[in-house]
Amino acid sequence: DVKVTQSSRYLVKRTGEKVFLECVQDMDHENMFWYRQDPGLGLRLIYFSYDVKMKEKGDIPEGYSVSREKKERFSLILESASTNQTSMYLCASRAGQAHYGYTFGSGTRLTVV
């Protein structure tokens, strides 16, 4: 089975801090995604990547950036954390074939105080 590992299950950060969320997948998937999930708003796509060093903006990229230096790792960066970025962050990966679904990591619940 594909495993998608997110480095932290819970994080508490202060306003203004730079925050790194790490995601690693072990199945050589080309496609990786970062979502945030908030009550009543569902899953919202932040950024995605179809290959190493490639990145595409999703629906809500403001305040975030990403890095994909290696195929297995996709990092989400909060340049200057704000309280409205308190959320559950979910990483997902998918093989190149378009009809495959995503495999999600276990999620990181980030609280910005």
Q: How far is the CB of 74 from other proteins (least distance, A)?
A: 15
CA distance 20 to 74: 10
Q: What are phi and psi of 83, to 5 degrees?
A: -60, -30
Name the CA dihedral angle for 97, 101, 105, 111, rounded to a multiple of 10 degrees. 120
20: tokens are: 């790194």
> Would you count residue 102 as binding other proteins (CB under 8 A)?
yes
Site membership for other proteins, residue 101 (CB under 8 A) = yes
Binding characters for other proteins, 57-96, by CB under 8 A (x = yes):
---------------------------------x---x--
Question: Taking the complex as a whole, how short is the minimal distance between the CB of residue 56 and other proteins, in angstroms?
Answer: 9
